[in-house]
Structure 1
Amino acid sequence: MTDRAHPDAISLVESLFDQGTFEAWDDPVGWEPADPGYRSSLARAHERTGLDESVVTGSGRVSDVRVAVVVSEFGFLGGSIGRSAGRRVVAAIERATRERIAVLALPASGGTRMQEGTAAFLQMVAITGAVNAHKAAGLPYLVYLRHPTTGGVFASWGSLGHVTWAEPSALVGFLGPRVYQGLYGEPFPENVQTSENLHRRGLVDAVVPAERLGGLVGETLAMLSSRVRGPGGTGKAAAGPISERSWAGTAWEAVLATRARDRPGLSEFLATDGTVVLRGDAPLWLALHGFGGNPAVVIGHDRRKQAGGELIGPVDLRVARRGMAMASDLGLPVVTVIDTPGAELSVAAEEAGLAAEIARCTAELVSVPVPTISVLLGQGAGGAALALFPTDRRIAATDAWLSPLPPEGASLIVHRDTDHAAELAADQGIAAGALYADDTVDLLVDVTAPDGMTRLRSVIAAELTSGPTPSDACRTRVPGGGG
């Protein structure tokens, strides 16, 4: 049985792959339990679903890109993972690793199969090991969380994706609601274990209907596979970087310019055919973009979300760190885009570890073993800006700025009023021109010109072509560090 919102395994496979390309990988189970009651349950599950286990594996083409799949069938004993199902998952991931193709995992499961106890429980370790080896081989591991995904499946192979999508209104969580109610005598709170809530919490990149999944997977894999065509770019920018003298205003005027409502931001920067947005509709985006043919992981601030009151918090910085880990696994450059009035200042952010997330994000960006470029696109206030700034190469908009606090905040600390904000902006050397003069940034580009974003992408493409190799990237130049 299936429905449009929550299709079963076979329906999902049929809708996902290019017609006639799917090849099943499943060998017969070849094992029968001693317990007659369990044997009867397996027989009924087989009769109901037409399958011999709770997972289907194989490979095929999605938008003509080959990919392996592991698909749960919830109708077979709740999609639970026993020894045979676990071994089937491991075998599929290991085969995909040998054949050097991506894996798309589509779990829908209640978790470990209780009839098999600890032996089934430990399959989660084996599956996790196979996923880790696949990622260590530099191969993509993508996840689509289906309704429902709970227990050990969510706590292992359901939570290890480079990219994680989820069905709308799917139940996704560690502790099953029935178990919670049985243990505590009350229902689990509503709207917590949902795909939409996990998206808000940064644990799911996007909530996607099943009928859109194939297109999104195809776009993502096409972008990731484009690197095999060799380095892109022209070797130099189509219209070269310009000097700090092109900005004639004061530092305070630059601050005001970057706050203008109609100023271009991250969405304009990524508004090309060469972009796959993995996580959008949030203060911090995660995307793949091809710069002159070179795919890169883009981690950037959305100025409009922040202007609406959604500031950068611990969740966003964890997403940024996940983007860096994905880039490291897949050997892709990282491009960060900085445009923020500052991080969220609240009790909730403090208790969720905002300062620690800023520290971890900064530390991981400094040490990530791939080429890195930061773009100071507009506002650059506080730790939310600093966390994305220390890269191998740094580009700034001619009127951008970087400071420990917005100038008004600095004025409050020094003068106990905001009247000296313009004076502090000048004295602190926050403007892009001053940052260029002291080698804190390497290049300046006028992004407000009619072709500004095109020029900026061209400069990045040239930098990725002629910039540091992955082995050099771990020696990131630290701001203020003397080289």
Structure 2
Amino acid sequence: MSHPERVRALDLIDRVLDPGSFRAWNDPLPTLAAPDPDYAAELAAARERTGLDEALVTGEGRIHARRVAVVACEFDFLAGSIGVAGAERLTLAVERATAEGLPLVASPTSGGTRMQEGTVAFLQMVKISAAVAAHRAAGLPYLVYLRHPTTGGVFASWGSLGHVTAAQPGALIGFLGPRVYQALHDRPFPGGVQVAENLYEHGLIDAVVPPEELRRAVIRVLDVLGPDTAPPAPPEPAAEAVAEPPPDVPAWTSVRRSRDPRRPGLRTLLRHGARSVTPLRGTGEGESEPALRLVLARFGVGAGPGAPCVVLGQDRTRQSEHGPFGPAGLRQARRGMRLAAELGLPLVTVVDTAGAALSPEAEEGGLAGEIARCLAELVLLPAPTVCLLLGQGSGGGALALLPADRVVCARHGWLSPLPPEGASAILYRTTDRAAEIAGRQGIRAADLHRDAIVDRVVPEHPDAATEPVAFAHRVAEALREELHTLRTMNTEHRLAIRHSRYRKLGL
């Protein structure tokens, strides 16, 4: 099996940064006890071979004219291993990026802790992780690109703390190095496990990106996560997306139209109503749910800058392909909530589901608890929040993403404790009265608007399935307007309004 290209630190930096913009920080290495002769000879050879004084290159540059900090391992310097000196250089770079308010792009490639320095080197991962945590706590983006190979304590510290994490195709990535495993157990580590593509499938990294495409990927991410200018002047309200009740339509008509396979869902909305779309994958903890998507994006059409946000969306297409989402999907959603809170980005949730999974696996996986935690976190989330009822809104799976500062609803969106057929079965032991129940339960957009559950209804002419692109444009503009308004509000005042809204609902 061929191994991926080993990309040198300075080569990677040249590929990612604007030409000629890199400036090394060159923090002097700390004065340490003299190494033993063998280790001293290894260090001298590594310095001569690479032209570097340590396994870490740190500095700053520009990406698409935006100033950023960069840190990158050099594998050719003692397998990119991290000892006390390298850890100090890395920590100083992270701390400087934090102090200067810079996004940080980090690219590990390493065999892990430098064995020649023993336990004291091993413990350096604590201070590195603390520095990265402080950077994130300051609301600054931390992006990670894992190169081949990345193992050991490097992967288990600064390699696993990214807001967004990508990896080189085919890269060996894992905690335990394969050679160590074979030496300890006298058999090879199972193939295909510690490979970038497998980590992606298990929701441990967000993307597999070739080095030559990394620059474009980072530009997309920083367009959403990077420091934003002051909010743009509010756009003129779209004539057809004003906050008014829609024409009267029977509830069952909306239910049937929301289930039309041709109806545009989240994918269509992102394709035609957003830019700088970057999908993220999984919980970062070994779970991934295809039916619930986590995305970074800017909403809005036309020449304006759009509104940056984190998007949590129920994907009706993937629910059809893979079945209803389960507790892992809601844990994935909570990752998105944490991202929004940490980076100070607005959060947009998109509800379009026939309901969450009803299965033994979902019960044992803690579905009910995850719904409760989503509700609690959303209600208290400091970031501005908008919920979009795009289509079906059934059961706890819909409710989990509902609580928001503002709720926007498509004309044929709806919200119900159960699908109408399920409510009919409970009340009458038959599904035959589903249409009647739908009409009585107040589930349609007009009812939700009347009851102050929904703030704004986006028209359909007469059905989004017949005008998917125009509908996506109207929804995107409505979201951009709502996000702009929320971003200009005082945070404490906004949170007080949100709490009062749900405290008094129905009274």
Q: What TM-score comes out, normalization by structure 1 length?
A: 0.91
Q: How many residues align?
A: 481
Distance 1:139 1:480, change over 3 A: closer
CA shift, 1:471, in A, is: 3.0
Give 1:434's aligned residue. Answer: 447
CA contact (8 A) 1:59 1:69 kept: yes
Identity of aligned residues (%): 50
Gaps of 5+ in 1: none
Aligned mates of 1:185, 1:473 — CA distance in 2: 61
Give 1:340's aligned residue. Answer: 353
Partner secondary structure for residue 164 of structure 1: strand
CA shift, 1:480, in A, is: 5.6
Give 1:255's aligned residue. Answer: 255
CA shift, 1:204, in A, is: 1.6
Which of 420, 443, 446 aligns to 2:456? It is: 443
Give 1:401's aligned residue. Answer: 414
Q: How does 1:51-450 map to 2 (within 5 A)?
A: 51-225=52-226, 227-234=228-235, 236-241=237-242, 243-248=244-249, 250-272=250-272, 274-279=274-279, 282-283=290-291, 284-291=293-300, 293=305, 294-447=307-460, 448=464
Aligned mates of 1:479, 1:187 — CA distance in 2: 59
- Structure 2: which amino acid aligns with 1:234? P
Gaps of 5+ in 2: 282-289
Partner secondary structure for residue 503 of structure 2: coil
- Structure 1: which amino acid aligns with 2:345? L
Aligned mates of 2:32, 2:202 — CA distance in 1: 41
**In terms of mean alpha carbon deviation, does 359-368 or 444-453 score higher?**
444-453
CA contact (8 A) 1:369 1:473 kept: no
Q: Does the alignment pair 1:10 with 2:31? A: no
Q: Provide Cα deviations, 1:324-365, integer angstroms capped at 9, x if missing partner.
A: 222222222111111122223444444443333322222211
Partner secondary structure for residue 228 of structure 2: helix
Aligned mates of 1:461, 1:38 — CA distance in 2: 59
Q: What TM-score comes out, normalization by structure 2 length?
A: 0.87
Partner secondary structure for residue 312 of structure 2: strand
- Structure 2: which amino acid aligns with 1:170? A
Distance 1:33 1:160, change over 3 A: same
Distance 1:95 1:357, change over 3 A: same
**In terms of mean alpha carbon deviation, does 413-422 or 130-139 score higher?**
413-422
Aligned mates of 1:440, 1:173 — CA distance in 2: 47
CA contact (8 A) 2:103 2:226 kept: no
CA contact (8 A) 1:255 1:379 kept: yes
CA shift, 1:103, in A, is: 0.2
- Structure 1: which amino acid aligns with 2:309? A
Give 2:286's aligned residue. Answer: none
- Structure 2: which amino acid aligns with 1:299? L
Distance 1:54 1:236, change over 3 A: same
Aligned mates of 1:244, 1:197 — CA distance in 2: 48
Structure 1 runs of 4+ with >6 Å offset:
none
Q: Provide Cα deviations, 1:432-456, integer angstroms capped at 9, x if missing partner.
A: 2221121111111125256322222
Which of 449, 461, 477 aligns to 1:458? It is: 477
CA shift, 1:14, in A, is: 1.6
CA shift, 1:195, in A, is: 2.4
